[in-house]
Every structure is written in C-alpha cells, then in structure tokens.
Amino acid sequence: MQGALRLWPLALALGMALLLAACGEGDKGPAVASPTTKAPTLTTITPTQQLEAHGIEGFKVFGSQIEVALSEGDVGFFLDRALLSRHQCSATDVQFGILPCRQAGQTLEGIWVGPWRSQWTLASLADYKQFLVRFFDSVLRDATDDFGSGEAALYAIGQTRSREAQVFFGMVTAISDTANGIERIVHAMEFVFEDGRWRFVADVQTGGALAAELLSGARCLAADGYCASWERWEPSEPTASLGDNGFSIYLPLREMSAGEISKVDLTSVELEDKPLISLGDIIGYSKEKHEIELTASAYESLRELEVPVTGRPFVVCAGNDPIYGGAFWTMASSISFDGVVILKPFDKDRHTIRIQLAYPASELFTGADPRSDSRLLDSLERGGKLS
C-alpha cells in the first residue's frame, strides 16, 4: 500500500501547477489549499478479484474491459474499481472553498474530478455515480465528427508519473448533449495498479475546443503529462457484451406464450442477439424488493415495449446461463398469470421496474421463487449494482 499512500492524482498536480504559473512567483494572493501540499491517502472499497498485469502492456489488455464497460454504459465497472482518496480539511480549504469543506478537521473521501487545466475537487462515490449516469445518458451514439462516432469509446491510453506513483490513463471520448450544447467531450480516466488489479482514482474532463486540442495534441504543453505520453488506442477484437457476462434480461427470438416460458426448458429457447436489459443499463437492484433502477435511456426503451394482455415472455440470465423465465404484463389485462411478472406501467418518477410474483396477486404464484438465485445476485454484486 505504500505506493498508493503517496499517490497524487496527475490531473490535480497539473491543474494546480498551471494555476501557480498563471499567478506568478511574485503573486501575494491567498495560499493554495492543502491538497497541493499533501498527497491524499487512499482507502480501498470492495474489489472484484481478477488476474491482471501491471505496466503499459497490462493496461492495454485492461483497456478491452474499459471498452466493453463504455459500450454498455456500465457505471458499476468504474465504481467497483474505485480507490478512494482521503483528505483532511484545513482552515484554508474552508476559507477559499477549493474543496467542499464545511469545517477544519473534516475528512473528505472520494474520486478526484475536475476540468483539464483548472482546479479540482473530491467527489463522493455517490456524487460521482450520478455524474457517470448523466454522462452515459447524454451520449449521442449516431453523431459524428472529425474524431469519429459519437458513442463513448476509448480513444487513447498513456502513462506518466505522479510523485512516486505510476499513473496510467485512458482517454475516453464521446459526443454529448451538454449544458453548452452538442459537443465532443473527453474524460482522461486515471488508474493505478494496486493489489494485483487496476484501480480507478481520478477523472479529468474537458469539452469543445479544448477536447479537440487534447485529442489532436495541438498546442499541448510539453509538461502536460496527458499530451506528452499518449498513444492511440487500437480497438481489440469484438468482445462479449456485459449482457453475456452478467445479469441480463432477454426476449425470446420466436413468439411464445407466457404459459410456455414458465414450463419450457430454457436452455432450448433461442434468445435475441442483444439483451433488452444488460448490466450496464442498471443503476441499482434491490435484493429485498427486486426493484431495478434503470438509466433514463434504458427506461425509455423499455417503456416503449409493446405488451399484449396475454403477456410478453422474457428470460433472465446470468452470463450465458438462463436462470428463469417470466412475462411482462399490463394492468389493462384481466387474465391472471402464476409466474414471474414485470408489470407495466412502470414507476416513471424513479425509472424503476419491479420483478414480482404472479398477476394480479402474489398468492397465485406456484413453484419456488427464482429471483434470488445466487448466480444473479453474485453478478449484480460484482457489478456494484446490488443494494
């Protein structure tokens, strides 16, 4: 852990160095807050143990996992790998508001985030989760510009040193609908290799003209570690989607009745190529209520699903294994069903759906409740979705 304890996020160091250079040595303004004089201590949250390799070659291999997470909008992938920084607030922090400190001695914990070439802050894991959700929801996949398609993608990778720690970064880019309008944005996501796996520590962000500058290398400062040391990411061979590696809900390829899906051997059921709901579409899953909070885009797609009064079958999978079948149902139906049900309309205020037993009353359900199958819950836990 000693290397991690000394880690200073590259982007914070660069941003503050540029700030000091702009002020000049003779500037008598207020002292910079303590994050510039003390390296933050890092604390670990629950990791997913995987065999991974250090160094730039190991990071290139890891880049394929980043690619899959981006393509699926998998917020949990980054949260699961978070290595949180800890900072104790000083009186200077409180006075000048560089960090969200309410009082001296307060301890902040989170991910370093901020704009390229500017001041940074420490975002709590909950706040950063919402930030990523908004990022993925804003992506315009069908848009294009000189740097490629609008979908979230890994554009480049690189490495540099931050004090005594080796920092690796992936430049993630997309075209997004932002408060400034539709523009190309970049996230330089920093990772360190800690305890045998890649851990996420910081997120640099920029957009518009600065995004183009960063991606092209135009007018980049020689001292800027992002500009000086990156190489274009070469996409790997097609990788299985997260729908193939975790919790997912599929529609059958051929038309089936709700009664059939409850009785058939699910391994014989051919499913559609892409899941209706994948792990990347899920923000959170309540294991007690079996409620699923979805991203806004996933919720809207599901809301448009046509469901007849006789139900529309689905299959819940863990990886490539079908676990149980059920049916989407509508409250307009007067037909009862004794299997697993997802009932429309959904909760539009919270973007949630609920997997329940039977319709119209749970007392009609027959058989064993399959919703808490350990393979499903393990997948959701690994993905940082389970609550």
Q: Evaluate whether 9 touches 120 at the Cβ level (below 8 Å).
A: yes
CA-wise closest residue to 315 among 370, 235, 354: 370
**pLDDT tens track for 229-251:** 678 887 644 433 434 458 999 99
Its pTM stands at 0.52
For residues 308-313, give the mean pLDDT: 94
Residue written as tokens 């920084």?
A: 85
pLDDT at residue 348, rounded to an integer: 76
Alpha helices in the chain (DSSP H): 2-5, 10-23, 55-72, 75-80, 91-96, 125-138, 208-216, 225-228, 258-263, 296-303, 374-382
DSSP state of 39: P
Spatial distance between the Cα atoms of 243 and 187, rounded to a whole number of angstroms: 24
pLDDT at 248: 92
Q: How confident is the model at residue 165 (pLDDT cuts 50, 70, 90)?
A: low
Q: Residues 348-360: pLDDT tens digits?
A: 778 899 999 999 9
Residue 317 DSSP label: E
- Banded pLDDT at 326 (limits 50, 70, 90): very high
CATH number of 2-232: 3.10.450.50
Q: Answer whether residue 178 shows pLDDT above 90.
A: no
How many angstroms separate the CA atoms of 120 and 49, rounded?
Answer: 30
Residue-level pLDDT at 225 = 54
Looking at residue 353, its pLDDT comes to: 94
- Every domain of the chain and the residues it spans: 2-232, 242-382
3-state secondary structure string across 70-87:
HHHCCHHHHHHCEEEEEE
